[in-house]
Amino acid sequence: MKVVLFCGGYGMRMRSSFDDAIPKPMQMVGPRPLIWHVMRYYAHFGHKEFILCLGYGAAHIKSYFLAYQESASNDFVLRHGQVELLHSDLSEWSITFVDTGADSTIGERLRRIRPHLMGEEYFLANYADVLTDAPMDHVIEQFHRSGAAASMLIVPPQSSFHCVEISEAGEIKEIVSVSKLPIWENGGYFVLSQAIFDLLPPGGDLVEDACGTLAAQGRLFGYKHLGFWKPADTFKERADLEASYHRGERPWMVWEQEAFSS
């Protein structure tokens, strides 16, 4: 299936801490940017046709792939001054770069790349700054079994805050961590059918407009994932991923785990 990645937002919550000129999907985790980690994850499951919905920072993303250095994340032999790669990331990838507007909503970005999905009954879509170890093969299988028109990964709340139960007199009865509440968050990693386009108004939102309508109709499936899932929406989240990478704790790198176990 083709993979649509939304990578054109301004990333305001991260821009205050990083170079404003670098778009959020291009922030580094180890030797590669966030967007590469997301793409490598999908490629591991056999989904190697990508459509990048560009906006803010498009030039950085284009330049990165146009000048891609395979040796940064692959073993190689230097023989007589020539590099002989032992592995390759991009050799089987197809990447379509589409300018979807600097100020477009995610729903509008999806509407604008619809011509590139003609003939695709189903396709995958995701944010370009969130990592997971979810079993994508199983996610897709469960989606098809559900008979729904769309699905999203849902995860426990990630907030470290606490909720309180309080009486009218101001007496606190109970303190509960948000992460322990029986609620779920949208985790991205969407599986979508062409029906999604019928529910997207111009300038609309993928989750609130299209998925919200499908939920009301009983046509939206949620895949519950209790494993690793982490966004890089803020400086701290990106720094946590970077530190985890350098500790060798890389659960989102499912391709690496398989290589080590073989």
pLDDT digits (tens, 9 = 90+) for 57-69: 889 999 988 887 7
Tens-digit pLDDT profile for residues 158-171: 766 777 878 777 77
Looking at residue 20, its pLDDT comes to 56
Reported confidence tier of residue 14, pLDDT bands at 50, 70, 90: very low
Q: pTM to 2 decimals?
A: 0.86
- Bridge partners of 135, per DSSP, are none
Q: 10 Å Cβ neighbour count for 20? A: 14
Distance CA(202)–CA(128), nearest Å, equals 22
When mean pLDDT is compared across 114-118, 182-186, 211-215, the lowest value belongs to: 182-186
Please give the residue that has the higher pLDDT: either 7 or 168. Answer: 7
Looking at residue 247, its pLDDT comes to 94
Is the CB of residue 9 less than 8 Å from the CB of residue 55?
yes
Looking at residue 21, its pLDDT comes to 67
Determine what percent of the chain is predicted with pLDDT higher than 70.
87
What are phi and psi for residue 96, nearest 5 degrees?
Answer: -100, 125
Looking at the predicted structure, is the pLDDT value of residue 15 above 50? no
Assigned token pair, 25: 């999907």
Looking at residue 200, its pLDDT comes to 93
Contacts of 156 (CB under 8 A, 6+ apart): 179, 184, 185, 226
For the chain, domain boundaries: 2-152+188-261
Looking at residue 183, its pLDDT comes to 82
Fold classified for 2-152+188-261 = Spore Coat Polysaccharide Biosynthesis Protein SpsA; Chain A (3.90.550)
Tens-digit pLDDT profile for residues 203-230: 999 999 999 999 999 999 999 999 999 9
Closest CA to 93 of 52, 54, 143, 135: 52
Q: If phi over 0 gives left and psi between -120 and 50 gives alpha, with beta otherwise, what is residue 119? A: left
Tens-digit pLDDT profile for residues 31-89: 899 999 999 999 999 999 999 999 888 899 999 888 877 767 667 787 767 777 767 77
Is the CB of residue 141 less than 8 Å from the CB of residue 262?
no
Reported confidence tier of residue 11, pLDDT bands at 50, 70, 90: low
